[in-house]
Structure 1
Amino acid sequence: MTSTPPHQSILDKPFVLDLFAGPGGLDVAGHRLGVPSLGIEWDKSACLTRYAAGLDTLHADVSAVRRESFESLPPEINVLAGGPPCQTYSVAGKGTGRKALEEVKKFIDRLMAGDSDEEIDKELQNLSDPRTALVLEPLRYAIQATRSPNRGHRPYDVIVLEQVPAVRALWDRYAEVLQEIGLPDGTTYKVVVDVLATETYGVPQTRSRAVLIARREGLGAPSLPEATHRAYEAREWNRRNGGVAAPTNQPTLYDAEVPEPGEGPAEDDGLEHWTSMGDALAEPVGTHPGRRTPFLIRSNYGSSGIPGRRGVRTDRQPATTVTGRISRFVVFESVGDRHPDVVREGSRFSMNEAGMLQSFPPDYPWSGKAQAQQVGNAVPPLFGAHLLSAALGLPAPTPATMRKPWVPATEEQRAKLRSHGCGTADDCTARCPRPE
């Protein structure tokens, strides 16, 4: 594990509590910035990855920690962060996602009004999907901090949240109540909310996220992180390059001459060219041997309503959104020189490569089961570093910040972390959440 020395920020000693921490995307960002963190994660395999990476972790249910053991959390935590599960907020289908959004807004208002946790918990049990209530947890933690004797009833100074674009409506409601109403103790925040594209921060994939950054009144108004790279425009790419044909038994890799990075419009905007899959994977680093041969990928879901096309992109484009399906992506590699006419089906991405497309450092120690799902569910660390930097007033990170190979924890360090996170050095205990 590698950390840079801490910088000055709006806080003397920032310390992050990462809710729904997953395998460590936001925690990796914090460590690269020199900001310590503690993650709470429900999934056993994600916790195994975190222990292997040397990340402080509680293998626990976020809701249960708030109800039963909040006073055991380090009182010096002053930054609240997280991305609650999002499955129930899809706006597709019959509108159940939209209905969930409206239900949760009402609970937000009630929490800010000081309604009892017991009464709210009782009513939340009537929701059709219990995961719907999890998006309330960051707010409930913020309120609980002001009630905590262990903290001296001190509110969190900074709040950083991210989720799928459909959750923006809830972040907007969070912003309204945090600014205009305040927590039940009267604490108010300055808040910014928007939907950001991760490739505009150097992440080698197209992924949109709804983000919220809040600072406690008196710490100055927050701002969103400034983009460092250009946005990827699929229509512009297809217009200039003629598109990319779907792989068949002998597909063409490039249907038209592809411009090198830096060519094209908007060269005077001061932004770098977006990072392609080839940029991220070409060079050897750590145990990654490098993937210099030109390639294209075909994802396992349709693209633009054309099932036969199946989300095809070349190594000169950013990846499509990395999800738990990344292990199923088919990689077609060149059989010729740099500008081949024919490719053949090659291998799948390794977990190391999949993680690098999420901007995880090379050699991140993916562990346990469902590793592809862990990769896909994670916050891209480079994007997370930009969010934390903007929230805390730190210098913006660079892609090179994440490029250094990650040094895994030693067996002794893993045992110590698991003793704290699970209760014993080599196994889960009764206090760990059960999968059911």
Structure 2
Amino acid sequence: MGTYEHVDLFAGAGGLGLAARGLGVPGVGIEWDKNACATRQAAGLATQKGDVRDFSPSDFPSANVLVGGPPCMVYSDAGAGAARRALTDTLDLMQRMARREDVTARLVQLDDVRQHLVLEPLRWALDSIDSGRPYEAVVLAQVSPVLPIWEVMGDVLSANGYSVACGLLRAEEYGVPQTRRFAVLIARRRGTAALPKATHQWFRKTRSPVPGDPVLPPCVTMGEVLDRPEPFIVVSNYGSSGDPRARGRRTSRQPAPAVTAKIFRCRVITDDDAAQDRLSASEAGQLQSFPADYPWQGHDKGQQIGNATPPLLATHILAAALDLAVQPTRPTETMPVPSR
């Protein structure tokens, strides 16, 4: 597909940006949080501080790949309540945008800014199409509840000349030492879009071999990436099956539970319940597949880490979108020295 340069909407601390750099795809990330911007700067990732809504494709004329992970509402939480109405409103707005209707007045009436922000990748993609310089590829990743948004956005992009693939990917199936599902959209102007193939096994506590399963390495464990004496147990900060008393537990021989903004509330104990030091920012980042020496800066490090797309997962997604080869299959242990 040629030479690439990306613009990363809602760039955060750098999950997608780090993946792009590792694949040799330069670019810039737009981010409004000062702490995430400080982390990106320390990591050597080009950053435009500001609100995505204040920019457009014409501000980044050399970018031919659009990537991002907009903050999203948990559309499924309220069933037929507020979240369901928000999803219906969002999908309606997307259809109106596809018809090139002016939705500005409606956007300012939205109760939750995230409902507006999740529409921004579509605005950017349609603006690029209408300007006669469509992005060669559009790559979006966010946690699983956003999948209905990606599916409708994929329909719109397909109607505008893109090949589209979207679905749910399990982070541990791509070498990330945690279990979390991500909704992913890949759209390409040339060739056929496809989600990346798994490189590791899917984690199930009671998994038994199933005839026909692909022969893949086991998923990466916490013990393999964290420099801690084994065995240890991570006790999740949230309950299992909605019960806060049933705290989920993972041993060091398993991948971590989903790494969220509350990661530092997780307890770490030994087999005989003796308390260990809680996870550091470096360790939490490693569970997201960031390098051990990634330079987390400022406040709210848990928020920065939990909101990031795991770089290793992002590497496989971007490589699939751009027909690029992926070399690493495990989290990187040290930061590459950024070029200045």
Could you tell me whether the CA contact under 8 Å between 2:23 and 2:326 is conserved in 1?
no
1:78 CA drift (Å): 0.8
1:294 and 1:112 map into 2 onto residues whose CA distance is 53
Give the equivalent residue in structure 2 for 1:431: none
Query: Can you list the C-alpha shifts for 1:244-287, whole angstroms capped at 9, x where unaligned?
Result: xxxxxxxxxxxxxxxxxxxx625972211011111221xxxxxx
Q: Note the 1:76-155 alignment, pairs <5 A.
A: 76-92=62-78, 95-116=81-102, 120-148=103-131, 153-155=132-134
1:91 CA drift (Å): 2.9
2:65 and 2:135 map into 1 onto residues whose CA distance is 6
Give the equivalent residue in structure 2 for 1:220: 191
SS at match of 2:239: coil
Could you tell me whether the CA contact under 8 Å between 1:17 and 1:81 is conserved in 2?
yes
Distance 1:305 1:130, change over 3 A: closer
Question: In the alignment, does 2:144 pair up with 1:168?
Answer: no
Query: Can you list the C-alpha shifts for 1:330-366, whole angstroms capped at 9, x where unaligned?
Result: 11135xxxxxxx2411111111110000000110000
1:386 and 1:32 map into 2 onto residues whose CA distance is 11
1:88 CA drift (Å): 5.0
1:90 and 1:306 map into 2 onto residues whose CA distance is 18
1:392 and 1:195 map into 2 onto residues whose CA distance is 19
Name the count of aligned residue pairs: 339
2:327 and 2:241 map into 1 onto residues whose CA distance is 34
Amino acid at match of 2:66: L
Amino acid at match of 2:216: L
2:264 and 2:72 map into 1 onto residues whose CA distance is 21
Could you tell me whether the CA contact under 8 Å between 1:301 and 1:310 is conserved in 2?
yes
Could you tell me whether the CA contact under 8 Å between 1:15 and 1:76 is conserved in 2?
yes
Question: In the alignment, does 2:257 pair up with 1:328?
Answer: no
SS at match of 1:301: strand
Higher strand share: 2
Query: Can you list the C-alpha shifts for 1:119-176, whole angstroms capped at 9, x where unaligned?
Result: x11111112212201111011011222345xxxx311010111122221111111122
Which of the numbers 183, 189, 207 marks the counterpart of 2:162? Answer: 189
Question: In the alignment, does 2:61 pair up with 1:71?
Answer: no
Give the equivalent residue in structure 1 for 2:221: 276
2:113 and 2:332 map into 1 onto residues whose CA distance is 38
Bigger radius of gyration among the two: 1
Query: Can you list the C-alpha shifts for 1:355-399, whole angstroms capped at 9, x where unaligned?
Result: 000000110000011011100000000000010011011123433
Amino acid at match of 2:127: Q
Question: In the alignment, does 2:40 pair up with 1:50?
Answer: yes
Question: In the alignment, does 2:17 pair up with 1:27?
Answer: yes
Q: TM-score, normalised by structure 1?
A: 0.74
Give the equivalent residue in structure 2 for 1:201: 174
1:89 CA drift (Å): 2.6
2:195 and 2:129 map into 1 onto residues whose CA distance is 26
SS at match of 1:360: coil
Question: In the alignment, does 2:338 pair up with 1:406?
Answer: no
Could you tell me whether the CA contact under 8 Å between 2:199 and 2:329 is conserved in 1?
no
1:177 and 1:93 map into 2 onto residues whose CA distance is 25
Give the equivalent residue in structure 2 for 1:393: 323
Could you tell me whether the CA contact under 8 Å between 1:23 and 1:375 is conserved in 2?
yes
1:318 and 1:88 map into 2 onto residues whose CA distance is 24
Aligned alpha-carbon RMSD (Å) = 1.9
Distance 1:305 1:108, change over 3 A: closer
2:74 and 2:273 map into 1 onto residues whose CA distance is 40
Q: Note the 1:334-373 alignment, pairs <5 A.
A: 342-373=272-303
2:7 and 2:21 map into 1 onto residues whose CA distance is 13
Could you tell me whether the CA contact under 8 Å between 2:172 and 2:201 is conserved in 1?
yes
1:39 and 1:199 map into 2 onto residues whose CA distance is 26
1:93 and 1:65 map into 2 onto residues whose CA distance is 34
Question: In the alignment, does 2:216 pair up with 1:265?
Answer: no
Distance 1:392 1:409, change over 3 A: closer
SS at match of 1:308: strand
Which of the numbers 213, 229, 236 marks the counterpart of 2:200? Answer: 229
Unaligned runs of at least 5 residues, structure 2: none
Give the equivalent residue in structure 1 for 2:184: 211
Amino acid at match of 1:81: V
Question: In the alignment, does 2:206 pair up with 1:292?
Answer: no
Amino acid at match of 2:309: V
Q: Share of identical aligned residues, percent? A: 46
Could you tell me whether the CA contact under 8 Å between 1:389 and 1:397 is conserved in 2?
no
Give the equivalent residue in structure 2 for 1:246: none
Amino acid at match of 1:205: Q
1:42 CA drift (Å): 1.1
Could you tell me whether the CA contact under 8 Å between 2:74 and 2:146 is conserved in 1?
no
Amino acid at match of 2:157: L
Question: In the alignment, does 2:244 pair up with 1:304?
Answer: no
